[in-house]
Copies of this chain bind each other. A is one copy, B any other.
Amino acid sequence: MTKILVVYSGGLDSFTLVNEAIRSENEILTLSFDYGQKHRKELSFVERFCLKESIEYKIVDVSSIKELFQGSSITDEIDIPKGHYEDDSMKSTVVPNRNMILISLALGYAVTKEVEEVWFGAHAGDHAIYPDCRPEFVEKMDAVAKIANYSPIAVKAPYISMSKSEILAIGLEMKLDYSLTWTCYEGKDLACGECGACHERLESFAANNAIDPLEYL
């Protein structure tokens, strides 16, 4: 029995990961961040699911950090680009050093909660544009997490070599209800269907011959 903290955004990948963690029969808690993202709506999905499943969860507002960054369409008054992750325009969705910051905070919380492993949902589809979603990043964060506090903590990204379609296949096999997730970078009433995140999600459902239960504009 291992005590695991899952960094849970409310999106498809981390939702699947939380569900895998629950089924692993380890002790699970989750941590989520308001870091100033326009799609902070995703956090209401976290809350709804964790309450439903009686999982210990924490949502922390660290949105003041956004004044350290400029030029990310995720946190600034810049339009979210339409298109696919491979497109060059998609680089505006990078939040500088985001994963290192969020994992560092998760590790601080992990010390307080005596957690042994921190899991997060980075996957292969993200590598193209996000340097902090690569296997090398996870390895190096794991190395520093092992020595930065009195007790070593492991950092794991179980989906790091999988595509979003493959992650979704795992979740569909578990019969997960993906209406309990939010992916769109625009935090509006309905998913836009046009941003990189929506495109990748819709293509993943199509690749699995499945219907996305979310409504789109």
Contacts and interface: CB of A to CB of B under 8 A. Distances in A.
Interface in A55-108: 58, 60-62, 64-65, 67-71, 94-101, 103-105, 107-108
A207 interface: no
Contacts of A213: none
A131 to B, nearest CB: 6
A38 to B, nearest CB: 18
B148 A132 contact: yes
Given A60-B64, A65-B62, A131 B112 contact: no
Contact of A64 (B62, B98, B101, B134): B62
A108 B100 CA distance: 9
| Majority DSSP secondary structure for residues of A touching B | helix
Interface residues of A, number: 43
A50 interface: no
B97 A101 contact: no
A140 interface: yes
A72 B147 CA distance: 19
Interface centre among A31, A62, A101, A145 (most CB of B within 10 A): A101
Contacts of A70: 112
A108 B112 contact: no
A194 to B, nearest CB: 25
6 contacts: A60-B65, A69-B109, A69-B112, A96-B109, A97-B148, A104-B104
